[in-house]
Amino acid sequence: MACEEFIYSDDNFNLMSFWSDKTQSYLEQILQDTWEEKLKKNLFRYKLNITQTKVLPGKYKFVLKLNPDRITNRRPPEDLVSINQKFDPSGFNFTKISPNEIMFKINKKISKGHDDLVIVNVSPLDNYHCMFIPSVSQCLNQVITLPSLCKAIEIMFLTKSPSFRIGFNSLCAFASVNHLHFHCYYLTNKMLLETIPVKHLAGPCYVLLDYPARGFVFQISSVQNYIQQIRSVFRLIEYFQRCQVPHNIYITRGVAVDSSTDGVNCQVLNNMRDVIRVYVWARSSSAGLKRVLYNIKPALCELFGHITVKDQSEFDSVTEEVISNMLRNLVTETFEKVYQPVINLFESQDSQNLGTA
């Protein structure tokens, strides 16, 4: 697939991000300009038209958006029954897309020419919704690898806007295509999970407790040893993969998880984002799920608090209680099952680290 190639190095990374800073990184300029060009060529299944947006009253500040076309005009998802289901070359995959959907290759200077792609999402959820496809020609199934997770974090480092987000749905967690991909998009609302306090669990792992969707939290706090920090995230993901636990992942700018929000100036807290937070939710399987409340299929966005609905009646009637109950029902049983094993996982990592110190 011939296309332009975006080349970067560690010198291009940004850790700090500010809501008050409206300047764009070079990657963001390329991404947005290219996405707009694709939009003008009518490559999308529908024109993104979010007719209304509101923050639901209540504690969690869920963001609700009315996007009727995404529900009715998106590509039908595949029938996926195992989180490690093998890649099926006869089914839809990203080697079969139109070349016009490709935005650019994205590679580190030391690995120029690799076929890591950024493509448009032809069924956009929000502004500049695109997908990162690692090693497209290898036809990897929708199971995260350590190199792909590192690349996703590097893409986040290449942006400056705290509204840029990256996410991943595993199979049986509402992934729609069994070909390795991450979602990238802009959500311009400041979200609770950028700053919410979390509790230390073990090693580098924290837990999100004071929220309907309890989950696991990590932070990437350095552009020097970020790969070591990502290995800890991958340790948990790999455990879920081995144990067939469906999971959703959300990567966002945030404040350091171990900073006391009581001691942080409110003005600073409202503006500065000094780490990348990675949320990992273990959840019940979406395989065979027939009835979905309000046609909401809870995946990475919904778990983060970004909810899309399809019609005006849903937009008017959805409440914080409805969303909270949906998220609790989705994750609570699985979270409680894996809670102690995850503690054991990272306590054993601490023991190994002490043994090699």
Active site members:
181
Instruction: Round to whole Å and give the CA distance between 13 and 324.
Output: 36
Q: Give the SS3 label for residue 356.
A: helix
Q: With contact defined as beta carbons under 8 Å apart, do 205 and 234 qualify? A: no
Q: With contact defined as beta carbons under 8 Å apart, do 173 and 284 qualify? A: no
Q: What string of DSSP letters covers 15-79?
A: --EETT-----HHHHHHHHHHHHHHHTT-SSS-----EEEEPSSSS--EEEE-HHHHHHSPPPP-
Instruction: Round to whole Å and give the CA distance between 40 and 137.
Output: 28
| The two three-digit tokens of residue 203, written as one number | 């090693």
Residue entry with tokens 């990592």: 349
Cβ-Cβ contacts under 8 Å for 313 (sequence gap 6 or more):
none
The count of C-alpha atoms lying within 13 angstroms of the C-alpha of 212, restricted to the half-sphere facing its C-beta, is 21
Give the CA distances from residue 352 to residues 146, 201, 233, 346, in Å, rounded to whole numbers and listed in that order. Answer: 20, 17, 16, 10
Is residue 240 within a helix (H) or strand (E), and if so which, with residue range? helix 226-242
Instruction: Round to whole Å and give the CA distance between 136 and 181.
Output: 9
Q: What string of DSSP letters covers 290-354?
A: ---GGG---SHHHHHTEEEESSHHHHHH--HHHHHHHHHHHHHHHHHHHHHHHHHHHHHHHHHHH
Dihedral over Cα of 228, 229, 232, 238: its sign = negative
Report CA Rg, the chain: 19
